[in-house]
Structure 1
Amino acid sequence: MPIMIELIILAVLAGVVLYQLYSVLGRRVGRQPEDMPAPALPDSRAPAPEALEGVELTGLAAVKARDPSFEVGQFLNGARAAYEMVVKAFAEGDRETLKRLLAPHVLAGFETAMAEREAQGRSERVDFLQTPRADLDGVETEGTVARAKVRFLGEYRARSKGPEGEAVDDRRTAELWTFQRNLNSRDPNWTLVQVDPAEA
């Protein structure tokens, strides 16, 4: 009989211990993953046109609002390629290439210089000694027209021929080129509209 009572007491104690373990281990302590709010994902979409009404945007923000695909790095790569093409085309008198890249008034200035060089019986060819450096100097918008200024630092070797013979000249240039495009146009290309000297 005493053994029976002892077994009953042990069973009761075991039940109490198990209940206490369950009450501790089965309880959720602190914030659980399902209690945490879902993280907010950044909205990379361009704002809807109606969201831009009454809002004045300038610079890169204005360009990105109208052309979400615009990327500074990609633009500078294109501008650098255009710079090399224009410099080489001007030296070689390649008018067809220049027509595709220059605004009419800029082309007229280039045409005057090329015609004068040709009248003197001179020709020229250039080779870049290293990849030109291109830095975005600023972006501005006026209505649907965007203008981007790029500072170029170039180093090239010019080989010229004239009545007096041939000459080789290594040159370093620092120029500020202004490119322009209509943001409402489907044509993604930018046109060179101004060339200014710049500090190296």
Structure 2
Amino acid sequence: MNNVAVLVIFAVVALVILVNLYNVLGRKVGFRVEDKALGAQKSGEIETAGRPERLLESRNPSLDALKTRDASFNELNFLDKARETYEQVVIAFHKGDLAAVKERLGERVYQSFADAITARPEPAKDTLSFVEPPKADIDAIDFKDETAQVRVRFLSEMAYETPPAAEGDKPHILYRRAAEYWTFQRAYKGAAGPWTLTRVEAAKA
């Protein structure tokens, strides 16, 4: 009888301990779907065509000011066009032919690129391609002389493929990563013109 009483007492004590442990640890354990949803909202990321894009918060005064001055501005469309320009300009610069992208470049940027191409000892022999679509983030927005300036941070990985030296050899591929700030500018008064690239700066990866 005494043994039964001891077992009952131990069972009650164990039950009390388990209940206390559940109250402390069991209320939120592991990954939950709602946690992911909340995390995505807090990070400010939006999934677009399979790629996460980080935008300035919608409450950012500069973004609100830009939308007030330019009612047609849409940050998602802008980033798509900025990424397209980035890819086309980088490939055109590598090939040494800026004719197809000249209208997207500001005068000083175009001249700087053209001078760099002229200074090359010989045309590039390798072919450049992007490993995947570059990541584009709106980094800053500024206003000057009735124009809007949007700085975009690009992160990209590029593949430089050199043809094989001899028949039967494999082509040599060199991979490089780049991090840059590109500033686009457009007048927000009068007829809306295209966004042009006015500045290129190195950025931290």
Q: TM-score range by the shorter chain?
A: 0.5 to 0.7
Matches within 5 A, 1:93-132: 93-117=96-120, 119-132=121-134
The alignment partner of 2:119 has SS state of helix
Contact 1:62 1:141 in 2 (8 A): no
Q: Find 1:135's aligned residue among 130, 134, 137.
A: 137
Q: Deviations over 1:133-186 (max 9, x none)?
A: 00000111124110000000001112358xxxx853211000011100111142
Contact 1:153 1:172 in 2 (8 A): yes
The match for 1:72 is 75
1:121 Cα deviation after fit: 4.7
The alignment partner of 1:107 has SS state of helix
The match for 1:196 is 201
The match for 2:44 is none
Alignment partner of 1:177 is 2:174: no
Contact 1:139 1:146 in 2 (8 A): yes
Q: Deviations over 1:38-87 (max 9, x none)?
A: xxxxxxxxxxxxxxxxxxxx622222112112111111111011100111
Structure 1 unaligned segments of length 5 or more: list them.
Answer: 1-57
Q: TM-score, normalised by structure 1?
A: 0.63
Query: CA 1:121–1:176 in 2, change beyond 3 Å: closer, same or farther?
Result: closer
The match for 1:156 is 158
Distance 1:90 1:187 in 2: 27
For the aligned residue pairs, the C-alpha RMSD in angstroms reads 1.9
The alignment partner of 1:62 has SS state of helix
Distance 2:118 2:145 in 1: 36
Q: Deviations over 1:95-152 (max 9, x none)?
A: 21231111111111111111122x3354443111001000000111124110000000
Query: CA 1:90–1:103 in 2, change beyond 3 Å: closer, same or farther?
Result: same
Distance 2:119 2:190 in 1: 36
Q: Find 1:90's aligned residue among 93, 98, 109.
A: 93
Structure 2 unaligned segments of length 5 or more: list them.
Answer: 1-60, 164-170
The match for 2:43 is none
- Percent pairwise identity: 37
Q: TM-score, normalised by structure 2?
A: 0.62
Please tell me whether Structure 1 or Structure 2 has the larger radius of gyration of its CA atoms. Answer: 1
